[in-house]
Structure formats: C-alpha cells, structure tokens
Structure 1
Amino acid sequence: MPDNLPIIDPLPYLPASSLLPHIPSLSSTELQARREETAQKIHKACRDIGFFYLKVDSYLSKEEMKEVLELGREFFHRPDGEKESIGLEKSDGVRGYQKLHQNITKGKADHHEGLDLYALSPYSPSEQSSQKVRPLEGPNQWPSQPEMFKPKLERWIEKMKILGWAVMHAMADGLGMKEQEWGELGGMVQDSFWVMRVIGYPPLPNGADGISCGEHKDYGCLTLLHADPIPSSLQVLSRSNEWIDADPIEGCIIVNIGEMWEIWTGGMYPSTLHRVVHRSPTYRVSIPFFYEPNFDAQVKLLKAAERKAEGEGRKVEDRGEVVYGDFLLGKVSGNFKY
C-alpha cells in the first residue's frame, strides 16, 4: 500500500441496519466524535490525493466480496457467442457486453472485456424516441449464466448506493456544510444515475500496443472499486507525477473521486488520473461502481467549498455549471468501437 493512500472507516455514516450483526452500535457521543474524525480524514484524502481505501469489513462480508468477483470470472469464461448475445449493439450502444479491445481510452483499445450496467433510462415516457434507441435509453442486459449473477449483483448495487451516500455525507461534513447545504447536495445524488462495470483483464501480452485500461479520470462523484487481490495492476498518478500502485487490501475497497467534485470544489478536490497495467498471469476481475449525480443535476461551485478553501488559505476556480447527464452523454459516445 502506498504510504499516502489512507484507510478510512465509513462506519459512523452507515445506517445501523446495514451493518453486519456482530458490529455493536455507537452511542450518540461516540458517533459524533467518530463522524468528525472520518469527515476530516476524507477531506484531507480528497484534497491531497483524490484516492483512498474504505474499510468495509463491518458492512460487507468476506463471502459476498469474494462471491461477486467469482461470478464475474465465471461470466467472462462463458463461450464468446453467449457473451456476445448481450453485446452493446443489442441495447443502446452503451449497456451490455464489450469484447476484448472494444473499449477505447484516449484513442487506444484497452486490453479488457467488460459488462456495463446503468440506472434505468433517464428519459420520461413522453421523451422516449420512436426512432433509433439513444445512448442510455435502452435496457440493461444481464447474462442468464451464471444463474446467480443478476440477483447477487443487484444486491451489490443496492449496497454500493448506501455506501456512496454515506461517503457523500462524510465529504459534506468535511467541507463544513450546513444542514441545508447538505440537503441540497444530497438532493443532487439521491436519484443517482449510477453505473457499474464488471471488467475482466487477461494478462497483457508482451509488446502490447496500449495497456489494460488507459489513463483517465472518472466522470461523476465517486468510484467504489472492488477487485481481485492482485498487486501491481491499478496505478494512480501522484502529485509528484509518478505512477504508484494502489494494491487491494483485504476488507477494503478503493475510492476515487470524479470530475463533478472538481467542479463542486473549484479544483480543491482533484479527480486523479489512474490506469490499469495488468501483467500478472492471473485473470483479473474488478467491479467499479460509479456513484453519480442525478441525471439532471446542475453541478456548480459550492459555497461550502469556497469557505473551506478560504479557511485553509487556498484558492478555488469557478469552473462554470454543467448538467451531469449532458456531460455523461458527451463522454460515453466515444467509448467503444463497433
């Protein structure tokens, strides 16, 4: 683990009903103290790095963390024809299975295969197109095998949504948001237009042109990444412009912040470049869950971020306003080759 990627416990922000049975509840005094500690750690990590580990062993059992990865591995080892029967072109061009090298980052083919799932279509019935299905308008395509893939991954999605909300709340407290301000920010993510990818990484061949997943920033709020315990694959660009490994830690997931937080904080919370270079002989599976704003959320500089930056003697830059759905559509349109 890189020394500058902290491990943060979100337990004080998780609803008691979501915790594993053996986790005792906190008293109100202890809860408040733990929340303040967690919020400050998250603020520092978001401000200084943009990546951190989230300790989730009070929320996710070892069995369910292992199970979702194994289901992904089993799917990717199904016959090609079976996987391609739920290819992107069978839905809306962005939901479904991508075969090896179909995903594109910065103009280069990535050496992985994947399955992309999104929140339900953001368009109201009156907006539904009678012509060609638009990106994000179609249905998700779930594999029929393995049989438990859909129910187990749907359960994972629900748990990631709860976790994403908890981290957003901690970030709001870390910025010193007033209750009304958190209510407004929370309202922008309560109908999160989430995305989940299940990704399979075969080993990179020697001399490969391109890498497993090219360097990029994520688009939205938060990425909650669960991956096989294989070292030296995920790499993060440090502030000193060096690629450092962000290796998995048992009982933790990896979190990084997306470009919407750069806008909300005027650059105080940077969205960090990262990539995957997977040369291990072991087939690697990862499941990033992207906890995003509502599709119609209007994202702009937060007053709380301005106050926090001023209190720390920092400057922020007003980067204007974007509608998240428009921003997302502009990104996904060039992600694949057909």
Structure 2
Amino acid sequence: MKEEERANLNWTLPVPSVQELVRQRQPDAVAPRYLHDDVGLAEHRQESLQGLPCVDLGKLMDPPSRSTELRNLHSACHQWGLFLLVNHGVSDEGMRMMKENVQGFFELPYHEKQKSAQRPGSLEGYGQAFVTSHDQKLEWNDMIFLKGLPLHARNLDLWQQNPPEFRIALEKYSEDMRKLAVEVMKYIGMALGIHEGELDLLMKSFGEGKYEVRMNYYPACPEPERALGLLPHADIPGITLLTECGNIPGLQVVSKDNRWVMVRPVPGSIVVNLGQIMEVYSNGTYRAPEHRAVVNKEKERVSIATFCYPSPSLPVGPSPQLLAATGLPPIFQTLSHSEYMQCFLNRKLDDAVPFIDKLKL
C-alpha cells in the first residue's frame, strides 16, 4: 500500500531496530534520522521533580484518611495530571515476573523478537509506533505493543512463547492493571465529586474496558542531548499506568509553568498518568499532561506502559454530574468511543492543532 493510501495512524512503517543498530555498530554518533535538535533538549538534565505528587491507595481505601488523601489526589490531577501511586496492592511477585519477562524479551536475538513483528495495518507487535513516512524523524526506542484485555482482543500470534513465561506474566499483569485501574478510577471520580450511579458506571466501564500494554526499550545513546526516546505527546486513554523496570530516569513531564521536569523512579511505585479521555470527562478540571522520554548515554532503560480505556459503550464527554454540580457549560464535545478513536487516528502527526483542541466545542 502506498503512503498516501494508508488509512490512518494505525499504519506504521517498518524501521530498523535501534537496539540492533547499537549492538552491531556501537556508533559514537546518532544517525541523522534520529536527531531532534529542534526540540530543545539542552535543558533536559537541568531539573528533577522533587515535589511530584505521591498518592497512597491504602489511605484512599481507609475511611479515616480518605478525605485528606482525596484532596491530595484532586490536587495532583489538577496541577500535574500525573502522580506516583504507592501501596497500590499489585503483588511484588506479579510485578517481578512481568519485569523479568519484558527484559528477557528484549535480550532475545533479533530474529526471535522478529517473530512478533508488526503486521501491515496494525500498531500491534514489535517495532515502532506511528511511523507514517520514510523521511520522518525517528525515536530512540524499540517497543512491543500488545492488547491484553478484553480476551477476544488478544492477537496471540504476536504473544511470545520465548521467554517461556512471557505469556503467563502478561496475562497476570493485564488483569492486575485492570483491577488497579478500576480502583484508581473510583477515587479519581470521587475526587472530582462524582458519586452514586455515575461513579458505579465509571468503575464498571473500566472493568469492561480495553487494556493495551506497550513495553519499551531505550538503548544507551551516544548523543542523548540530540535524541529522544519518545517525542512530546499526551496520552489518549483514560489513564496510563507506568512501571519502571529499573532505576534509570527517563520520563519527563511538562509542569504548569511550562518546564520539562524529570520523574525519578521510586521503587515499588506505579506512575499514573491521566489521558485525554479524563481531561474531557473532567471538563478540563484535570489535565492530560504532555510528556516525553529522554535517553541515557551509559545505560539502557526499560519501562511498561498500560493504556487503560473505558468500555467502548461509554461516551467520551464531560461528566453530566459534574456539569450539573458546577453549572458550567461543557468545554468539550461528547463523542462515541469510536468517533473519539477515529478523530485521533485520522489526524496527521505534524498537525499544528493539538488533538485535545479538536475535541473542544
């Protein structure tokens, strides 16, 4: 299929593995197609985020401490749209198993990883996302992107059987993330002032929603100040749950005063990042933050991002309860889930208008 005939952003072109480029050539400079001198990376080491909000799920679940922790959660979602979640209840064993198998996958020989290579017309599989032209600048990462839930959405042809426990780990992890997302959404809804029937509907929709897992490998980079692991973007689901597989920092988020700040890994925590479905649902009260991944000169970084969507039956629009309680007019349209996804997938990557602005009334 020719470039101009490709339907939308679900199409991605095959590109070289960055891991293999590093392994084979051990370059002392970044190839031109990976250079991003135009995005202001010079400052990317200057600032670390000391005051990143930390939310304790245990305190949210405990009635005596809930109201204080809900205020903390509300502030985090409003000010940052991103927070560290501790006491999240996901078993250490499940987390360890997933991390080990993801790292094991990226340690496989290239020909083994290629068994999960992306097929034409799909982002799912091993490769890079959103490569829509042969001259587009590339990101310094390899990834494998798989649909975890619902069960019927899984493409098991792409689910590796090497490492031997990869499938078992991903099945358990997908279910763990679904359970966690339902709990997180319950308290995000409560922090927003949603209650009773609508809160039950919100939780039910995430219980029945789709969960997609992107496993990222960022090799060591000879010129980290000139390359990017992930370009700046905001996520489109309800929330993203990010697990770091080590202690190498790389995630950066834009603060409200427009600075790039580093999110340092905290052992045992999960980073919760609000997506644009929640920015719309909150009628702009909460934000889906712009973020990116930078790379390291000496060390690789591995991370696991789980994109958590509500059920396709739930419209994407401002909360009716919230509009009624505040008396404010809706800022955003209300779309069906399929309309929302098509609006995203049919846009151009270099569109000057941010996706969230296309959803506004």
> Out of 52, 73, 96, which is 2:125 matched to?
96
CA deviation map 1:239-268 (0-9, x unaligned): 111100001101211111000011111111
Quote the residue 2:5 is aligned against.
none
Quote the residue 1:36 is aligned against.
67
Amino acid in structure 2 at the alignment position of 1:286: S
Return the alpha-carbon distance in structure 1 between the equivalents of residues 91 and 49 of structure 2.
24
1:82 maps to 2:112: yes
Secondary structure, aligned partner of 1:116: strand
Closer, same or farther: CA 229–52 of 1 in aligned 2, 3 Å: same
Normalising to structure 1: TM-score of the pair? 0.79
1:324 maps to 2:337: yes
Q: Please list every run of 5 or more consecutive structure 1 residues that lacks an aligned counterpart in the other structure.
A: 15-30, 124-135
Closer, same or farther: CA 300–224 of 1 in aligned 2, 3 Å: same
Return the alpha-carbon distance in structure 2 between the equivalents of residues 335 and 160 of structure 1.
30
Q: Please list every run of 5 or more consecutive structure 2 residues that lacks an aligned counterpart in the other structure.
A: 1-47, 350-361
CA deviation map 1:29-86 (0-9, x unaligned): xx3223323322211110111010000364332x443332221111112111111122
1:70 maps to 2:100: yes
Normalising to structure 2: TM-score of the pair? 0.74
Quote the residue 2:57 is aligned against.
10
Closer, same or farther: CA 52–231 of 1 in aligned 2, 3 Å: same
> Out of 267, 276, 300, which is 2:293 matched to?
276
Closer, same or farther: CA 120–166 of 1 in aligned 2, 3 Å: closer
CA deviation map 1:151-190 (0-9, x unaligned): 0121111111111000100011112222112123223322
Q: After the TM superposition, which residues 165-314 of structure 1 pair with which residues of structure 2 at under 5 Å, given as runs?
A: 165-206=182-223, 210-306=227-323
CA contact (8 A) 1:299 1:324 kept: yes
Amino acid in structure 2 at the alignment position of 1:37: T
Closer, same or farther: CA 202–103 of 1 in aligned 2, 3 Å: farther
Amino acid in structure 2 at the alignment position of 1:229: G
Amino acid in structure 2 at the alignment position of 1:65: M
Amino acid in structure 2 at the alignment position of 1:11: G
Return the alpha-carbon distance in structure 2 between the equivalents of residues 298 and 187 of structure 1.
13
Secondary structure, aligned partner of 1:287: strand
CA contact (8 A) 1:215 1:275 kept: yes
Q: After the TM superposition, which residues 13-162 of structure 1 pair with which residues of structure 2 at under 5 Å, given as runs?
A: 31-56=62-87, 58-61=89-92, 63-89=93-119, 93-98=122-127, 104=131, 108-119=137-148, 141-162=158-179
Normalized per residue, the structure richer in helix is 2
Secondary structure, aligned partner of 2:214: strand
Q: Percent identity among equivalent residues?
A: 24
